[in-house]
Every structure is written in C-alpha cells, then in structure tokens.
Amino acid sequence: MYCNYCGKVIQDDAAICAYCGIRVGASVARRRLVRPRQGRKIAGVCLGFAEYFDIDVTVVRLVWLIASFMTGIGLFAYPIAWIVMPEEPLLLAAPFAAQHATNS
C-alpha cells in the first residue's frame, strides 16, 4: 500500500504513515465524547478526552495535573466534566438464540 500524501510504501494495515505521520486509509468516524467504562482511574474524564482527540491518555492526565497545580482550573473542570460527560452505554451480549440463528 502507498501513502496518498508522500507516496512511500507502507504496511497494508497501517493507520498512520511512518514517513509523513498523516492518517491513511479509510477515515475513522469521530467518537462521541463519553466516559468509558473500562480503563478509567477515577471517573474516566481524562480517558474520554484522550479517546475523543485520539491521543495518549497519559499525556491528557499529565496536562490535567499540571493545569490543576498551576492554575487551579483543572480542579474545577474535572467535576464539571464528570457531571456533563455521559457515561459510555452498556454493551450487552445478544441472547443465545439470536446468536445461534445468525450463525446458521
């Protein structure tokens, strides 16, 4: 597979070009800003922002921590985001009969 931007050969399953750093392939639909149920430390606010903006959660947590100590804004923004951001919906498994019918 070739990168559409720089023209270099990249892996077939690559999402980002290793040479120019631009996202390749089909564009991924942006997720909603929600608090995930898995992988969160306190309320999932930082993880939700990290998934929404497609960046590492550690970076978001560090920025939030620095903003909290330097300006105090993070201390007020976190509880507000906790209240405002909806929680990720539960993903329930399909009943066994429905799974069996689709496999046949």
One-letter-per-residue 3-state SS of the chain: CECCCCCCECCCCCCECCCCCCECCCCCCCCCCCECCCCCCCCCHHHHHHHHHCCCHHHHHHHHHHHHHHCCHHHHHHHHHHHHCCECCCCCCCCHHHHHHHHC
> Does 95 map to a domain?
no
Which amino acid is residue 28, in one-letter code? V
pLDDT at 54: 83
Measured CA to CA, the distance from residue 12 to residue 1 in angstroms comes to 5
Same structural domain, 49 and 83: yes
Tens of pLDDT, residue by residue over 51-102, are: 888 889 999 999 999 999 999 888 898 999 889 988 888 777 777 765 555 5
Structural domain harbouring 70: 31-88
Q: Are residues 7 and 44 in the same domain?
A: no
How many distinct structural domains can be found in the chain? 2
The verdict on 6 and 55 lying in the same domain is no
84 and 38 together in one domain? yes
Tell me, yes or no, whether 7 lies in a domain: yes
Q: Is residue 98 part of a domain?
A: no
Same domain, yes or no: 19 and 43: no
In a domain, residue 97? The reply is no
Q: Copy the structure tokens of residue 13.
A: 């399953």
Band (pLDDT 50/70/90 cuts) for residue 5 is confident
One domain, residues 50 and 80: yes
Per-residue pLDDT at 14 exceeds 90: no
- Report yes or no on 16 lying in a domain: yes
